[in-house]
Structure 1
Amino acid sequence: MSFRDDYGTKITELVLSEYEKLSAKGRPVTRSNGAKEGTIVAAVIASDTRTDKHSILTITTGVKSTPNDELARSKGKILHDCHAEILALRGFNRLLLEHIKRSMEGIESNLIHNTPNGFEWNNELELTLFISKLPCGELSMSLLAEMKCEDENSMTFEEDDNQQYITPEIKTILRGRCNFNKRNYVRTKPGRIDSKATYSKSCSDKLYIRHKTSVLNSLTSYMMPTPLYISNYVIPNINSHQIEEMKLYFNRPMDLHSSVRRLYIHTSHYKFGDDLSPETPPSSMSALKILFNDNDIQEEQILNGVKNGYYTKASKPLRKNCESKVSRYSLWSLFITMHREFKDLTYLEFKRRYCAERAELIRSIKSSLSSDGWLSTAEDDCQLP
């Protein structure tokens, strides 16, 4: 039997079983008016190609992102993007930093090993990203077209109507699901057309950039010089056309980044009970669970980009210890425990000085995705006290 035989079913069963173990605080609820909320669940899984053993590393839920004008007070403590698949990858990078730290302390890791050139991923393990629904953005536009989506957030605009753009100077970036029949555009996260704009890009766009660069962030890639990629996607209830569309999307030739990387897309036939649909209001809550090992599992709930119970209105300062384990500030703090030589730098100073090659590659990819230019989220720097 092949390692990938019935892979989608095995992974879906594993993830949905773990989802049921999440705290009820981070899962959708039934509102007072009787409306049942929905969400999206994502997970990063390590699969051992020798033993056919699959281990969930992170599991997350979430469908929210932070408006750009609320990031001014962040200082690295507010999460910009709480969509499940992006949270799952942030959680994975947190897990890697923890494994690196423990390895430096003499604790053996089954995920990484130390080499003269830095830490490396165990190449007998393949990475899988499970998502309960097609990622927002380009990869879900054909589904919206098939559904003949007519909700107010998916409105069709004439070419000269600037409502569809975050800024009219950049017409290669569309806002959310506006003009869903347009293809091959960068999109921001979906949201009500009358809501405050988020500049966070769609999950499709973010996953594409990671497919071309690495799932490692600037901190983990500094300590793990060899890029690391997702080998498998598992998305329940998608058809063969959508599978082919995903493969073409991730491996489309884009200027210098035209190399084809093998990617397996799997599906299954399972109904996720808390699935987000046009009929269900989205849950405001996100859940994050990182499984370091059987005896070390860390879980938190996130609301409005900070830990649940810590949110304050935009006019007030952030509360002490409000930051999630996967916030920029928390990841930077953990990194500095291993690299004290950078403690006087800010996070962005470190990136500019020591991650320039990675940044240039990402800039080049963004330029190929949006020829009119790129619209970045508000600068969000942090420094340890």
Structure 2
Amino acid sequence: MTDLGQRVADAVVTAFGKLNVKSGRPTIRLNGVSEWTVLAGLVAIDGDELTVVSVATGVKALPDEVRSFSNGYMVHDMHAEILCLRLFNRYLMEEVKGDCHRLLLESATTNTESVTPMDRSETREGPEEAGKSDTNDGPEHSKFSKNSEPRSEKYRLKPSLKLALYISEPPCGDASMSHVANGQTAWEEPAQKRQKVIRGRANFGHLGIVRTKPGRADSKLSLSKLCSDKLCLKQYTGILNCITSLRIEPIFLDFLVLDETKHVAADFRRCFHERMLQKPERPLQALTYRHSNFPFLKDPERTPLPVSLAYIAISNTSHVINNGVKNGANAKKPRANGASPLSRRSLWQQAEGHVPTFASYNKLKQANKERQNLKLKARKLLGSWPQTGEDDFCL
């Protein structure tokens, strides 16, 4: 256990406990069975000062088949730690737009030229218009219009800050396989033999392999990678998404904060350091905590909570996600008014006018060439990375 790990854990649990919401928390069902969930929180560390940025709960992932009708309105991976990172990106765009005081970001450039390699040929304006910039001298949040190319001022995380991601359970996948194996013999596949992907808890003895959600064999296939694999990849790409990465220099996690009684150092080293053929420049460090006041921990006598709570603590906004959409919305026919603020469409709409406009979401995803190359490199180092179905839409 480390003092910093305990302080981070306490800060996240306290923020969750103070959240005043009518739904989204585990409860006792009518049949008398209690619910459990996973809690995660992203904390900014500045010396001795801790700031809880985002908090989320969740254990669900949608089947891959819903991507055929999602149209950008659904959140596919609702595991707590993944939602925390999506919340973080949404908040960062608020700072980029100037909608709030910049607590985490500072300017990284003194001119209007982008420092991000970007494929301008894919923008709606085309290669000729893409080089033009807005010269309006008004306040930053009003410089951009939806029909003009936004200025490309870059931001970066303030250098005094470090980021820690607290999770009440070890991240699903390779970082927690000792718990799944339950003392039985396991082995690590040589890198050159990691050609197939294993689903969730299947073949627990195979270590160092990319796995897909969900863990239960009787669930519909999602092809969404387990959290261990996603977090491992982000040691190379950073935790920004395809939108914020166009305006912000890469940001990396520094620490994962885990329960000391559930943390296995050998699993952590293998998952985040040793299984990669090339060590990441910003390897994750593990911090642990010993005591937790979170009242809804995983327990075999409890049943998982089917919804997720998403909370940007730093701006005090929250909502509940159920089956990929806002709680109460129709998940079978997703629409704009039922979309979570963390859906692809909502994140794009938030940034519209502050990043270049592309013909489609997939074109936007591919715009930051440096980020795309890092993703491809990291996936190759992991040995395999199955593609999910398309969830593309026109912008």
Match of 2:214 in 1: 190
How many angstroms does 1:190 deviate by? Answer: 2.9
How many angstroms does 1:261 deviate by? Answer: 3.3
Instruction: Note closer, same or farther for the CA distance 1:333–1:278 as it changes in structure 2 (3 Å cut).
Output: same
Match of 1:31 in 2: 29
Q: 2:200 aligns with which of 176, 198, 202?
A: 176
After superposition, the C-alpha distances for 1:364-384 in whole angstroms (9 at most, x for unaligned) are 2112213xx432111111334
Instruction: Note closer, same or farther for the CA distance 1:236–1:109 as it changes in structure 2 (3 Å cut).
Output: same
Match of 2:352 in 1: 336
Distance 2:71 2:352 in 1: 16
Match of 1:309 in 2: 328
Match of 1:357 in 2: 370
Match of 1:233 in 2: 256
Match of 2:233 in 1: 209
Instruction: Note closer, same or farther for the CA distance 1:77–1:260 as it changes in structure 2 (3 Å cut).
Output: closer
- Alignment check: 8 A CA contact 2:78 2:324 kept: yes
Secondary structure at the counterpart of residue 70 of structure 2: coil
Secondary structure at the counterpart of residue 20 of structure 1: helix
2:338 is the alignment partner of 1:322: yes
Secondary structure at the counterpart of residue 348 of structure 1: helix
Distance 1:291 1:258 in 2: 30
Structure with more contact order per residue of length (Cα contacts < 8 Å, sep ≥ 6):
2
Match of 1:15 in 2: 12
Secondary structure at the counterpart of residue 270 of structure 1: coil
- Alignment check: 8 A CA contact 2:208 2:270 kept: no
Distance 2:284 2:178 in 1: 23
How many angstroms does 1:237 deviate by? Answer: 3.2
TM norm structure 2? 0.81
Q: 1:58 aligns with which of 54, 57, 66?
A: 54
Distance 1:256 1:183 in 2: 17
Instruction: Note closer, same or farther for the CA distance 1:277–1:187 as it changes in structure 2 (3 Å cut).
Output: farther
> Which consecutive unaligned segments of at least 5 residues does structure 1 have?
150-155, 157-169
Matches of residues 98-113 of structure 1 in structure 2 within 5 Å? 98-102=94-98, 108-113=101-106
How many angstroms does 1:255 deviate by? Answer: 3.4
Q: 1:114 aligns with which of 103, 107, 110?
A: 107
How many angstroms does 1:253 deviate by? Answer: 6.1
- Alignment check: 8 A CA contact 2:61 2:76 kept: yes
Distance 1:364 1:282 in 2: 36
Match of 2:308 in 1: 286
Distance 2:354 2:209 in 1: 40
Instruction: Note closer, same or farther for the CA distance 1:338–1:73 as it changes in structure 2 (3 Å cut).
Output: same
How many angstroms does 1:5 deviate by? Answer: 5.7
2:394 is the alignment partner of 1:383: yes
- The letter for the 1-side match of 2:273 is N
Identity of aligned residues (%): 35
TM norm structure 1? 0.83
- Alignment check: 8 A CA contact 2:242 2:364 kept: no
After superposition, the C-alpha distances for 1:119-155 in whole angstroms (9 at most, x for unaligned) are 1110111101000010001111111223669xxxxxx
Match of 1:374 in 2: 385
- Alignment check: 8 A CA contact 1:113 1:121 kept: yes
Match of 1:152 in 2: none
After superposition, the C-alpha distances for 1:321-372 in whole angstroms (9 at most, x for unaligned) are 1111111111111121313x41x521111222x22231122122112213xx
Distance 2:323 2:101 in 1: 36
**Structure 1 vs Structure 2 CA RMSD:** 2.4
- Alignment check: 8 A CA contact 1:40 1:275 kept: yes
- Alignment check: 8 A CA contact 2:254 2:284 kept: yes
Distance 1:185 1:37 in 2: 31
Instruction: Note closer, same or farther for the CA distance 1:197–1:367 as it changes in structure 2 (3 Å cut).
Output: same
- The letter for the 2-side match of 1:128 is A
Secondary structure at the counterpart of residue 41 of structure 2: strand
Instruction: Note closer, same or farther for the CA distance 1:147–1:283 as it changes in structure 2 (3 Å cut).
Output: farther
> Which consecutive unaligned segments of at least 5 residues does structure 2 have?
110-114, 116-153, 187-193
- Alignment check: 8 A CA contact 1:212 1:257 kept: no
Distance 2:101 2:11 in 1: 25
After superposition, the C-alpha distances for 1:212-236 in whole angstroms (9 at most, x for unaligned) are 22011111111113x2111122112
Q: 1:42 aligns with which of 40, 56, 77?
A: 40
Secondary structure at the counterpart of residue 308 of structure 2: strand
Match of 1:135 in 2: 171
- The letter for the 2-side match of 1:176 is G
Match of 2:247 in 1: 223
After superposition, the C-alpha distances for 1:243-282 in whole angstroms (9 at most, x for unaligned) are 3531443222633455463624222222532012333211
After superposition, the C-alpha distances for 1:293-344 in whole angstroms (9 at most, x for unaligned) are xxx411000000110000243xxx32341111111111111121313x41x5
Instruction: Note closer, same or farther for the CA distance 1:244–1:174 as it changes in structure 2 (3 Å cut).
Output: closer
- Comparing 255-264 with 9-18, greater Cα deviation is found at 255-264
Match of 1:347 in 2: 361
Secondary structure at the counterpart of residue 57 of structure 1: strand
Count of aligned pairs: 345
How many angstroms does 1:115 deviate by? Answer: 2.7
